Amino acid sequence: MFVAYTPALDLSTSAKTYKEVRARFDEIVQIFFQEIIDKGTFEETLQDLGWKKLRKAWSPPRVVAQDTKRVTIPLPAPT
């Protein structure tokens, strides 16, 4: 399973293949921007996500660290 996530937009999707997750991710990003444009909430939404408007361009928040951690989840006892 592959997961694509962008903290800059707080969007994620998953798929069984890398190619499929890339295609899905591109699609959700397009849908996201179309929706906030259609609703008239473009600037408000980006500001809420930490974006800054510098001159006439929007700049996303910077990721200062990234890490992957493996977690063991205990299974419930059979009943």
Q: What pLDDT shows up at residue 65? A: 83
Cβ contact 29:11 at 8 Å: yes
What is the pLDDT at residue 29? Answer: 97
**29 touches 8 (CB < 8 A):** no
Which pLDDT value is given to residue 78?
A: 86
Strand 11-15 to 52-54 pairing: unpaired
Where exactly are the structural domains of the chain? 2-59
Output the pLDDT for position 64: 85
- Say what the pLDDT of residue 22 is: 96
List the chain residues with pLDDT less than 50: none
